[in-house]
Chains A and B, each alone.
Chain A
Amino acid sequence: MAAVTADQKTQRTAGAVDPADAARTAAFDATVAADDRIEPRDWMPEAYRASLVRQMAQHAHSEIIGMQPEANWITRAPSLRRKAILMAKVQDEAGHGLYLYSAAETLGTSREELLDKLHAGRQRYSSIFNYPTLTWADVGAIGWLVDGAAITNQVPLCRCSYGPYARAMVRICKEESFHQRQGYELLLALSRGTRDQHEMAQDAVNRWWWPSLMMFGPPDDASAHSAQSMAWKIKRHSNDELRQRFVDICVPQAEALGLALPDPDIRWNEERGQHDFGAIDWTEFQEVLKGNGPCNEQRLTQRRTAHEEGAWVRDAAAAYAAKHPAPPTHPGQSAQPAPSPQTAQGTQPEEETA
């Protein structure tokens, strides 16, 4: 439905009376067709802009909501080395959220606006983060499977037609691959550890496998945005193609780990040269999307609470900045507070340097 609407909008724009519009549309189409990048100051169809904002916001929100299930284990990590790795990972996720909000801001929205929509439940984050982390092994399963699925999804986004998004993904994918290897290594240590540790690892894989497959989104014949996104080269592969690729990657990895995937129907299909696998429970997926997953309420409440309880801190930073206009003495410093709406007034959103 949504894809059809978007299509009609583009066509309407293309067929508009104003010849300047037609020229701009042609230039946009040509850029996309040539695999060149659309940049923030380029003209773009409104539906393209809206679709990117939706996807990039959802992506950014997933990074920051995704901190919660893992942060849940920071204070209980069983060795100092693992604790350091986990802290660094959660910190990276906050950083990814920052890149992605910045990239989304090049489309004329603001981080504040996007966060408000997240808190109001008007924009989504990945369904996977509505599952609980019940044991330490879940940290490994998230690294291996959830980050693995994210990478499979995101590597093609490095070639996305929108420049700022593609560039953000290049940086993010490098760090994600590192996390994924660490998660795999964590599970391997458990799998080869004591019997209790091995069982803990198997239990985590049992619980995270199917939700990870759902991260690729609904099947192609039920995916609202896919066709248009692919035509615009925001997406490069269909949900089902990427899901299949992920399964084919995971099967040998599970074997190397010495852990079973909880799907009796997985088997190599000689004819297709791919693995067959069992049916996904799309009812569960829809329920989680609707807000009825195990942790939806908890995740959103924690995010809202952090934001609300932090309001006085952001107000203080804004009030201080208004009283003391910052001299540009520390250009390289990275830990400045968020520019508040008040202080940002009259300042152009930062442009990508060409």
Chain B
Amino acid sequence: MTAALALGDDALVLSHRLGEWAGHAPVLEEEVALANIALDLLGQARVLLSLVGDEDELAYLREERAFRNLQLVEQPNGDFAHTIARQLYFSVYQHVLYGELAAGRGPFADLAAKAVKEVAYHRDHAEHWALRLGDGTAESHERLQAGLDALWRFTGEMFQPIEGVDIDWQALRTSWLGAITDVVERATLTVPTGPRSGAWAAGAGRQGLHTEPFGRMIAEMQHLHRSHPGASW
């Protein structure tokens, strides 16, 4: 079930990155919000991975090359604007994707129907912060533009069709771009231009070709579990 793995890995990896914010957020409300989003994503990941096999074996015992997540979600947090740019790109993607899946009759319809409600909140959170940062101070404007620019190159791979996910990928790409353009412009920012093919090539993450920070991330994530083979927790 490659599709469940791809979608599950996206949620698992982004959840992990958001978990790194705990205790470091700019205001207490964001400690709550970022942890909340991380928990929603982790919940989705657990359901999706369990469709494939044992959730812990899949999360903790696969090597880097076997993960199928987008390169976008594995990118390090950077500053708050960088994190928000990543959230904006991904939550809009996930929202339109799960909206489509929920409307269809495919194997992910039930999961998507539940998750789309959570993701609507994630998207709302990212969009509101995009507006505040973009149209806030000169510094926040600059920082968010930098985040949007830096992550733009990883957005192409979101629309590489996933085997087993039967939707109109071209239409998904169009709705995503429309929604992003709308928010970015309302935030007084500029939609980045330039290649969107990611590192290697668009679709690399889905084939298990990741960026360098990812290996370090899963080394930390898996270390304890791997140190005690066969133990239960």
- Name the residue on B nearest A336 (C-beta): B29
Q: Are the C-beta atoms of B55 and A78 separated by less than 8 Å?
A: no
Pick out which of these stretches binds chain B: A6-14, A93-101, A119-127, A276-284: A93-101
- Name the residue on A nearest B46 (C-beta): A80
How many B residues have CB within 8 A of the partner chain? Answer: 53
* Chain B CB within 8 A of A300 CB: no
Contacts of B131 in A (CB 8 A): 320
Q: Are the C-beta atoms of B136 and A315 separated by less than 8 Å?
A: yes
Measured CA separation A307–B25 after assembly (Å): 8
* Chain B CB within 8 A of A224 CB: no
Measured CA separation A64–B23 after assembly (Å): 8
Measured CA separation A354–B20 after assembly (Å): 40
Q: Take A80-B59, A313-B26, A316-B140 as given contacts and tell me if A193 and B19 are in contact as well, using a CB distance cutoff of 8 Å.
A: no
Closest chain-A Cβ to B192's Cβ sits at a distance in Å of 20
Q: Which residues 167-218 in A have Cβ within 8 Å of B in the complex?
A: 186, 189-190, 193-194, 196-197
* Chain B CB within 8 A of A59 CB: no
How many A residues have CB within 8 A of the partner chain? Answer: 56
Measured CA separation A76–B135 after assembly (Å): 37
Q: How many A-B residue pairs have CB under 8 A?
A: 162
* Chain A CB within 8 A of B114 CB: no
Say which residue of A68, A78, A98, A302 sits within 8 Å of B225 (CB atoms). A78
Closest chain-A Cβ to B87's Cβ sits at a distance in Å of 12
Q: Are the C-beta atoms of A337 and B22 separated by less than 8 Å?
A: no
* Chain B CB within 8 A of A271 CB: no
Contacts of A337 in B (CB 8 A): 27, 29-30, 132
Say which residue of B36, B56, B132, B137 sits within 8 Å of A80 (CB atoms). B56
Closest chain-B Cβ to A57's Cβ sits at a distance in Å of 14
Q: Are the C-beta atoms of B29 and A315 separated by less than 8 Å?
A: no
- Name the residue on B nearest A324 (C-beta): B135
Pick out which of these stretches binds chain A: B37-45, B100-108, B149-157: B37-45
Q: Take A74-B19, A193-B231 as given contacts and tell me if A87 and B27 are in contact as well, using a CB distance cutoff of 8 Å.
A: no
Binary interface profile of B, 151-175, with partner A (CB < 8 Å = 1, else 0)? 0000000000000000000000000
Contacts of B19 in A (CB 8 A): 74-75, 83, 87
* Chain A CB within 8 A of B177 CB: no
Pick out which of these stretches binds chain A: B63-71, B90-98, B195-203, B216-224: B216-224
Contacts of A315 in B (CB 8 A): 136-137, 139-140
Q: Which residues 128-148 in B have Cβ within 8 Å of A in the complex?
A: 128, 131-133, 135-137, 139-140, 143
Measured CA separation A82–B125 after assembly (Å): 26
Q: Are the C-beta atoms of B32 and A316 separated by less than 8 Å?
A: no
Measured CA separation A77–B220 after assembly (Å): 10
Contacts of A310 in B (CB 8 A): 25-27, 30, 80
Closest chain-A Cβ to B36's Cβ sits at a distance in Å of 6
Closest chain-B Cβ to A141's Cβ sits at a distance in Å of 15
Closest chain-A Cβ to B128's Cβ sits at a distance in Å of 8
Q: Are the C-beta atoms of A189 and B29 separated by less than 8 Å?
A: no
- Name the residue on B nearest A82 (C-beta): B233
* Chain B CB within 8 A of A319 CB: yes
* Chain B CB within 8 A of A91 CB: yes
Q: Are the C-beta atoms of B29 and A320 separated by less than 8 Å?
A: no
- Name the residue on A nearest B31 (C-beta): A94
Closest chain-B Cβ to A201's Cβ sits at a distance in Å of 12
Question: What are 18 A-B pairs at a CB distance below 8 A?
Answer: A68-B23, A75-B220, A78-B228, A80-B55, A84-B39, A87-B39, A88-B35, A186-B233, A193-B232, A196-B231, A305-B24, A313-B27, A315-B137, A315-B139, A316-B136, A335-B36, A335-B121, A337-B29
Q: Which residues of B contact A (CB under 8 A)?
A: 12, 16, 19-20, 22-33, 35-36, 38-39, 42-43, 45-46, 49, 55-56, 59-60, 79-80, 121, 125, 128, 131-133, 135-137, 139-140, 143, 220-221, 223-225, 228, 230-233
